[in-house]
Amino acid sequence: MPEKTSIYDSAAIDRLRAELKFEPRRLRALRTRYFKKSLGVDAALAELPHGVREEFASRVEFHPLAVEQVRDSEVDGATKLVLRTAAGLLIEAVIMRTSTGRVSLCVSSQVGCAAACGFCATGQMGIARNLTPAEVLDQVVLAGERLAAEGRGVRNVVFMGMGEPFHNEAVLYEVVSVLLAPGLFHYPPRRILISTVGIPDAIIRAARRFPQVNLALSLHSVRQSVRQRLIPLAAKYSLDELRAAVAAVNKIQQNTVMVEYLMLAGLNDSTDDARDLAAWLEGLDAHVNLIPYNPINAAPHLRTTERADRDAFAEILRTAGYVTTIRYSLGADVAAACGQLVQRENRARALAQSTGFSQRS
Ligand code: SAH
């Protein structure tokens, strides 16, 4: 059987249209239904004339991912989608419905991650492989289709799921281009955010390529020794290099860079840490987002910062003149923190396999 063409590969789909000889406006209408309105495959195909519709449907792959599991939070507006690649690998995307009614979608860029952060469930898995552009984009469409049924849609796309986006840089750029393309998803660039563990050259390249797309840096400490302990990959990049990269991004972009700061009791959350962070930020256009630690099984030694300490930390930054927000952590009951649910699932599968039982028939 010849390989199918991915709906996410625009150039190949354009060639298929020419081969099947239907009008360009029909393809435009199909894409509007599929990408912009999230109406699903059947509604999209209905835009094609009879005769070519079946041929097109048989030659195009719409969903490279299958929905393995959907977990709606009972305490807040989070829904976790566990998705399966063709080879059976599991990844996740998290729908976050905020109280304002706006929806953000957290997407994965890799299966696993090479950064090995001790506090992160995905970091504990190691890296399996990069996702393809189609696999990243399909997360947006699958989430969009679920949301369309509620009369909502994905407003913001944030690269904060499994993986380090800049370790899959070419795919990331392809994905962002498709998200921005007027004939495809047509997202406003400011509604896209790329979060990175901090790869200085790549941050600058991304800012040049997409000057209006938002960038977030997972800083977590301004002490090299502490940062390296939390993020082993940080050993490769000095805090000075990172700071210079943020300064360069500020020159290229109008957007404020988001500095993410995971708060861990006794490790990086003292008032001295806050003052040193403020000093590190001096002269940068940055907004600080404090992240309460979401405990994972693999890191029983790490503890969440107490609320009072977190507020004191935030106050120091605000007094120093930095906009500081505290991330409201959604979906704790559905294990929505990066990689948690997939890790649990994968472990259950490994266990099932080692005991000779298969999970699915
Ligand atoms: N690799 C990218 C994006 C994925 S993680 C990055 O490092 O930014 C997205 C954010 O969630 C990062 O700031 C990460 O440090 C944070 N995070 C990971 N595990 C967490 C946990 N258990 N609790 C709270 N935040 C976590």
Q: What is the pLDDT of residues 204-218, one digit of tens each?
A: 999 999 999 999 999
Q: Whose CA is nearest to atom 10 of ligand 1?
A: 160
Residue 275: the pLDDT is 98
Question: For 187, left (φ over 0), alpha (ψ -120 to 50), or beta?
Answer: beta
Residue 351 pLDDT > 80, yes or no? no
Q: Whose CA is nearest to atom 4 of ligand 1?
A: 160
Q: Tell whether ligand 1 has an atom less than 6 A from the beta carbon of residue 124.
A: no
**Confidence class for position 335, pLDDT limits 50, 70, 90:** low
| Calpha distance 288→197 (Å, rounded) | 15
Mean pLDDT of 34-45: 98
% of the chain residues with pLDDT over 90 = 83
Helix (H) or strand (E) holding 157, with range, is: strand 156-159
92 has catalytic annotation: yes
| Calpha distance 64→201 (Å, rounded) | 31
How many other C-beta atoms are found inside a 10 Å radius of the C-beta of residue 155? 17
Residue carrying the six token digits 């990959």: 233
Residue 330: the pLDDT is 62
pLDDT mean across residues, the chain: 92
Residue 350: the pLDDT is 45
Residue 187: the pLDDT is 98
**Confidence class for position 342, pLDDT limits 50, 70, 90:** low
The pTM for the full model equals 0.93
Residue 353: the pLDDT is 42
Distance 291 CA to ligand 1 centre (A): 9
Q: Whose CA is nearest to atom 5 of ligand 1?
A: 160
Residue 358: the pLDDT is 31
**Confidence class for position 261, pLDDT limits 50, 70, 90:** very high
120 has catalytic annotation: no
Residue 280 pLDDT > 60, yes or no? yes
CA torsion 306→312→315→317, rounded to 10°? -80
User: Exposure string (b/e) for 8-37, b if CB count within 10 Å is 16 or more?
Assistant: bbbeebeebbeebebeeebbeebbbbbbbe
Mean pLDDT of 62-79: 90
% of the chain residues with pLDDT over 70 = 90
Q: Tell whether ligand 1 has an atom less than 6 A from the beta carbon of residue 291.
A: yes
